[in-house]
Structure 1
Amino acid sequence: MKSRTTRSTTAEDTTTRSAPSESTTAEGASAGFDLRHHGDAEVRGADAALTDLAVNVRAGTPPDWLKARIAASLDGLAAYPDGRAARDAVAVRHGLPADRVLLTAGAAEAFVLLARAIPARRPVVVHPQFTEPEAALRDAGHTVERVVLDERNGFRLTPDAVPDGADLVVIGNPTNPTSVLHPADALAGLARPGRTLVVDEAFMDAVPGEHESLADRTDVPGLVVLRSLTKTWGLAGLRIGYVLAEPDTITALERVQPLWPVSSPALAAAEACCAPSALAEAARAAERTTADRAYLADRLAELAEVRVCGPAAGPFLLIRLPGAAAVRTRLRELGFAVRRGDTFPGLGPDWLRLAVRDRATTDRFVVALAKAIAEAAA
């Protein structure tokens, strides 16, 4: 399977297309990018305890009240999961009818379902972004075309970036790993007759007010919004997310989904996380994350070698610095795990992604980073 790279440029440049990439391997690597490498690989099997800045799950989660709700659900494990209450809770949370909601085993499962259920002839994935959508499409036999946003434009979407002939478009908002928040109107403007527009909003609940979300929109044809509950609530091990889309799309996805795909504990968590009190807690967490991200950016600005990609809106920052691979290795020796950037199409070996943590952790990390940079330069 071949892919073609499109790089959107600044106003001074014209759009160019590169030569087709090499086909994907069984491991999910394509054109030199390991599409199946994710942040957890940076900390899995570590010989020593590492301060984790590689995984974008909020620290100190899940909260005790959520643990209690999940634990209480264990008494019902003898029964098959019944997702109706959780589905209704998600629908109410977004002001939508329940037939526009599909619960999934994490947002990642939704990409697999979309790849299997949507008969796309020209799927396009906008990069840099979470690589699992492209990997799932390739595994399902699709030829994937890439639109690669330009660093010189802050990795921001330009109106003509996506080819008119694309009938499936996938984009993140805010985007992992760039932390760019695209305007909702710009994304809605990508909708076309006969096109499925997939917007991955896995990190949208970390944006105060969720002001660029399309989750509650029913006026955008072909819109599919993906949400995750694993990031803000610390439920990556439980696997819970959901899809918001037109009823016909939900039905098509449900047909290719295994029976009882979401466990009873995950359903209990979904219902609990949609309660008004939980939404208020998530909103407070988003405000704290915003402040902590600004603090991290300010501290990084003290290091002349580091350039921060911004403005940022997610619970992570993308940075560029020379010799990032060597710096990342030295940071591990100093007790910090960070996410390599060279597995994301559109980035390269000089990029790292940093999860936002509390200010004390940031202070310790910046000291270690300065040390690692100095030693790598020497």
Structure 2
Amino acid sequence: MPEKLKVVVLFGGQSGEHEVSLMSCTSVVKNMDPDKYDIYFIGITKSGKWLLFEGDVEDIQNGVWEASSKPIVFPADPSFKGFFLVDNPSQVYKVDVVFPIMHGPHAEDGTIQGLLELANIPYVGCDVVASSVAMDKAMAKAVFDSFGLPQGKYLVVLRREFEQRPQHIIDAIESALGYPCFVKPSNMGSSVGITKAHNRQELIEGLKEAGRYDRKLVVEAFIDCREIECAVLGNNDPQASVLGEIIPCNEFYDYNAKYFDDGKSRLIIPADLPEEKANEIRQLAIKAYKALDCSGMARVDFFVEKDTLEVYINEVNTIPGFTKISMYPKLWEATGVPYSKLIDRLIELALDRFKEKHPE
């Protein structure tokens, strides 16, 4: 019997999406084959402490894992190839691959990926550059523009510019985009900090809200659209899933609608679109994936105009949600890849990518 892979499932983090990560982690672990993997649960607290948790996986989602966890060090020094307990540094826990199931800043933005590159340990998902560019909506939009991917109208605003010249910024947004419009932090996911502004006062409040999360803000013109998502899987030859459509329970698919409104939002899989249009979107998803040089996985989100079916790319999520209601695993399930097989494939892709980057 082959030796089991030693896999770190890395969860938590310092971002506003900490709780989502706990839910994603629980779902991932429940779908990992214990006959194939020795699993270490390593959680990062909101204050940035790294802890080894050896209890019941349900206590991760419940948020009570911290109290019984042990502080660890996960060194960037590649001679370790693992981690050790703070109170027992002589025993190193060797690691074959890391599955970061964390969302948002200090997780999905290339920071964790950079640490794992220094440690010379394979990891699931996109590398440093793809992670950081995809996380920064303003930078990703610039890349999409350069690759000719269709996008809605948008403006990038610095928080300091708004603080120093609020009237100038508001006038520019109203002139270029009008109302309603969406205001977003450039570096945040899961719709955290996003608001829809119907008038000047709501725009001002929206810019302040987004500014709580980032120094750079993106304002987008409203599109009367359907929200369509595509899951992409692979390294050099990525594959696109069937498409899914989100019918949000709120005015738009915000943080609560995604994770905490108990299934009131509807996910329609496959999305009801003409075959030719669905194929166009799947091709655009792969084009966006390659434009950012993604690897392993990503979920590519689109807006499709209700009347014309014109397609606009919204964003690429390099560590999509893996909760029990998340679109990414559901899309692959509908495409013929069950959740457990998806986890296996992602780990295989991580090891393949590592070998490609480190040829013998």
Tell me the TM-score normalised to structure 2 length: 0.24
Tell me the TM-score normalised to structure 1 length: 0.23
Task: From the two aligned structures, give the one with the greater strand fraction.
Answer: 2
Specify which structure has the bigger relative contact order, considering alpha-carbon pairs within 8 angstroms and separated by 6 or more residues.
1
